[in-house]
Structure 1
Amino acid sequence: MGTRVVVTGGGGFIGAYLVKRLVRDGWDVAVVDTMVRGDAGRLNPVADEVQLFSTDVRDQRELERAFKGADVVMHLAAINGTENFYKRPELVLDVGLRGALAVVNAGRSVGVPHLVVASTAEVYQTPAVVPTPETVPLMLPDSLNPRYSYGGSKIVSELIAFNYAREHYDRVQVFRPHNVYGPDMGWKHVIPQFISRALAGRRSKPPNEPIPFEIQGDGSETRAFCYVDDIVDGILTMYSNGGHREIYHIGNDEEVAVLDLARRVGRGLGLELDIRPGQAALGGTPRRCPDISKMRNLGYRPKVDLGEGLKRTIDWYVEHSADAVTNELL
């Protein structure tokens, strides 16, 4: 068998793509996921080749059982999605903080040599420098705003990874993914929400009539979206070529305004959107784009540009548009 890896949150969006890639590359793969937010169906193509532990990531004793014999633990389990940050901050914090402690301590207990931890671009909130390098100070601007439950939990998770693991692991790496997207990412993120709302507008408006389409803010806000396959490439490049006690941005530096993103989604669906600015979300960030020089120095190159990635994503969501109705998000 190949290298033994345990992926926590392997039924999640990034986790499932990572698991499938690891299996294809010949790794010996185990997944820790209760599938409360994950989806076991994402792993169907490799289900017979993956060992699944239906274990809560906060349960250290059960994690020790799952981690025995592992060469590396890749910890991706979290409660993600902006809607959850506002509506379920207690759960976001509980899973984020207690999960990080349990993972690091379980790995210590059973002698796992390598640890990879997923952080987030949310640790910067509104970064002082854009494109943003890994050295920019992390920020928690308002502890009263539940949005920061996620970014705050990831800041603490990084501290746990680098300090609890300091003398117990041969390699500890943290990656901060930036605005990952792609097919089957769920319905609580900006791109699938844009797609599902545009499709709903098409059903409710006469043909050839522009579809009213509200966005948060004036549309000048920017993001740099990275297709999920490129994120997975980055994780594996980092693990193979990166150093111990290092932090890496994994993303794409192709920046796009939210207004342009909405227009691209409309064009991809063959629809004309009447885009209407709205109130910006409290705690939103006007601009976000990673400096990926550190990853480029390891040999990482994003391969899927936004045009191609949106096409693949739109095609998947059109095919599964009935699921959006089921999830009552239209």
Structure 2
Amino acid sequence: MKKDSKIYIAGHRGMVGSAVWRALESEGFSNLIGRTSSELDLRNQNEVYEFIKTEQPDVIIDAAARVGGILANNDYPYQFLMENLQIQNNLIDAAHKLEVQKFIFLGSSCIYPKFAPQPLKEDCLLTDALEPTNEWYAIAKITGVKACEAIRKQYQKDFVSLMPTNLYGTHDNFDLQTSHVLPAMIRKFHEAKENGNAPVTLWGSGTPMREFLYVDDMAEAVVFAVNNVLPEHLYNVGTGTDVTIKELAETIQRVTGHEGDIIWDSEKPDGTPRKLMDVSKLKSAGWSYKTELLEGIEKTYVWFLENQNTIKQVKLSK
């Protein structure tokens, strides 16, 4: 891909999209375009089609999605299913019909079955039932993966799907009602420290294992996909290592300086017992992560401290 190729990043203001924008700029790409949700409603098929027709990007990176943790997925199942289907289908279909050279679809490890063998391989997709707490989002993302695969199979186009593990980092969502586990913990431990090291109550037992990838590393994987024609349609993106939620909590507690107790509310759901990605396919293609978990949490906490008065807090309506 040439450095002046026009690249449209859908969701360029989000945690992942903004990291991808920064990474592409640092690589010398000079023709990046983005639109806010007020400028372009990605749920509107006609708007999306006319925008792609007018701008004629060479590459589309779909980093736009309605996202959230267990609570948000459970409370807003229709929005998580329908809005994600609308966003990705409009982008994928317009890219196909208007002959966009390359399409990179970003998803999530939750597309894989709840009890799939660990570590999760790409070919375990659709082999068993999903985790119920986020199946609405997962079904939408699976549809996106299969749409890109279908276009690739039928029309031999360069449409590829990257499935990251749990992402975190700067510009994350720290709203306790809609955020994922890591940013939610950072905020909880920080506020408890500020409140005289009050106890912190966390959901579940602390025993589930999770893998976490710093968002700037994910952005580098996207740049890698921009610069290379990958031979397959679906790639996992992660570190290939995981920790228990309890270990994660204790690490964040140390980073934030909280000295109070941690209380585990076992009445709340744990979610999937383990989600570790097999990242051997993308590694063999030439990409691997750089940022270890402790370093990434430290960077994220510094950003949180500097931006806590203006941090993104997502409110959903039914």
- The TM-score with structure 2 as length reference comes to 0.87
Superposition deviation, residue 308 in structure 1: 0.7
Correspondent of 1:119 among 88, 107, 132: 107
Q: Deviations over 1:200-236 (max 9, x none)?
A: 212333xxxx531222222111111111111011122
**1:109 equivalent in alignment to 2:97:** yes
**Structure-2 separation of matches of 1:77 and 1:55:** 12
In structure 2, C-alpha distance between the alignment counterparts of 1:2 and 1:123, rounded to whole Å? 34
Match of 2:258 among 237, 246, 271: 271
Match of 2:195 among 195, 204, 227: 204
CA contact (8 A) 1:134 1:248 kept: yes
Write the distance in 1 (CA, Å) between the matches of 2:91 and 2:231. Answer: 18
Tell me which residue corresponds to 2:182.
191
Secondary structure in 2 aligned to 1:301? coil
Q: Choose the corresponding residue for 1:163, options 131, 135, 150.
A: 150
The equivalent position to 2:294 in structure 1, one of 291, 303, 307, is: 307
Measured in 1, the distance between the counterparts of 2:313 and 2:122 equals 40
Contact kept, 8 Å, 1:216 with 1:277, in 2: the verdict is yes
- Determine the structure 1 residue equivalent to 2:83: 95
> Cα offset for 1:184?
1.7
Q: Post-superposition shift, 1:244? A: 4.7
C-alpha separation in 2, matches of 1:72 and 1:327: 28
Decide whether aligned partners of structure 1 residues 324 and 140 sit closer, same or farther in structure 2, where only a CA change above 3 A counts.
farther
TM-superposed CA distance for 1:186, in Å, is 1.0
Name the residue aligned to 2:27.
25
Aligned-pair distance for 1:165?
Answer: 5.6
Q: Higher RCO, 1 or 2 (CA under 8 Å, sep at least 6)?
A: 2
1:136 pairs with 2:136:
no
Q: Is the 8 A contact 1:100 1:160 kept in 2?
A: no
Sort the Cα spacing of 1:314 and 1:8 in 2 relative to 1 into closer, same or farther, 3 A: same
1:14 equivalent in structure 2: 16
Task: Provide the alpha-carbon RMSD of the alignment.
Answer: 2.5
Amino acid at match of 1:191: L
1:85 to 70, 73, 84: 73
Q: 8 Å contact 1:253–1:290 — kept in the other structure?
A: yes
Structure 2 residue identity aligned to 1:30: I
- 1:125-178 per-residue CA deviation (whole Å, 9 max, x = no partner) reads 4242212121113367379x5631101111111122222564446211001010
Amino acid at match of 2:21: V
Change (3 A) 1:264 1:138: same
Would the aligned equivalents of 2:210 and 2:244 in 1 still touch at CA under 8 Å?
Answer: yes
Residue matched to 1:57: 42
Structure 2 residue matching 1:22: 3-state secondary structure:
helix
Q: Does the CA-based 8 Å contact 2:104-2:225 persist in structure 1?
A: no
Q: Answer whether contact 1:61 1:106 (CA < 8 A) is retained.
A: no
Cα gap change, 1:79/1:169 in structure 2, threshold over 3 Å: closer, same or farther? farther
Per-residue deviation, 1:66: 2.7
Tell me the distance in 2 between the aligned counterparts of 1:294 and 1:165. Answer: 18
The alignment partner of 2:257 has SS state of coil
Note if 1:286 corresponds to 2:289: no
Whole-Å separation in 2 of the counterparts to 1:280 and 1:141: 23
User: Partner residue of 1:255?
Assistant: 242
